[in-house]
Amino acid sequence: MNVLKSYLKWLPLLVAVFLTGCGSISTLGKLEDGAGAEASKMWDRWVDSGGDIAVATTWERKVKAGVTVADIESVFTQISAERNMKGVGELPLSKELEARTGKKQKFLKVYSYCSPETARMMVDFSPHMGAYLPCRLTVVEKDDGLWIYTLNMDMMVKMGRKLPSPLKEEAWKVRETIYIMMDRAAKGEF
């Protein structure tokens, strides 16, 4: 059964290749090593979520009980400074909604970070990557507490066309920084 399950994971990719012909086969040779495995993980998350593409393309962490928004923001600031990521904006959505409605809202805030040099290299490689800029972390208050969400940056570094050096190394640094920011902030690790 496990063998069948592992083969079924590749079925969507194989069907796509079969249906689109030689163009797909040619493209597969241009992808990063492990792209298929990463696509399979995303496919599984998409299926498990009932087709929610946002679930398939993001990472999330439940914030440990007792960790406050101020703690999270401190960790974001500390790690971004340590790893040379520039804070480029915040969008305090819950405060804006409170101002508009006059009613208390659950916390919702978007934090944006960027490595300008890496952003330039990435957009030069693929102008469409500009749609993913800047990197964002979002803190969301739900009934069970705070959560942190961010884009699954493995799509950028593991799934697409092979990134040339030094872009690949710089993109990996950005990916690691955002992941560490999310992970450590959720744990309240300064």
Where along the chain do its domains lie? 58-187
C-alpha distances (whole Å) from 141 to each of 24, 54, 148 are: 42, 17, 9
Mean pLDDT along residues 116-141 = 96
> DSSP 3-state assignment of 77?
helix
Evaluate if residue 6 carries a pLDDT over 70: no
Evaluate if residue 126 carries a pLDDT over 70: yes
Residue 35 or 1, more confident? 35
pLDDT of residue 23: 64
Residue 35 or 131, more confident? 131
CATH ID of 58-187, from 1.10.274.10, 3.40.640.10, 3.30.310.70, 3.40.50.970? 3.30.310.70
pLDDT of residue 84: 94
pLDDT of residue 160: 84
pLDDT of residue 190: 85
At 131-190, the pLDDT tens digits run 999 999 999 999 999 999 999 999 888 888 899 999 999 999 999 999 999 999 999 998
Output 26-35 pairs: Cβ under 8 A, ≥24 positions apart: 30/161, 30/162, 31/159, 31/160, 31/161, 31/162, 32/157, 32/158, 32/159, 32/160, 32/161, 32/162, 32/163, 34/158, 35/158, 35/159, 35/160
Evaluate if residue 21 carries a pLDDT over 80: no
Residue 68 or 3, more confident? 68
Residue 66 or 10, more confident? 66
Mean pLDDT along residues 31-45 = 87
Out of 23-27, 34-38, 159-163, least confident range: 23-27
What is the band of 5 on the pLDDT scale with cuts at 50, 70, 90? low
Cis peptide upstream of residue 164 (ω within 30 degrees of 0): no
What is the band of 3 on the pLDDT scale with cuts at 50, 70, 90? low
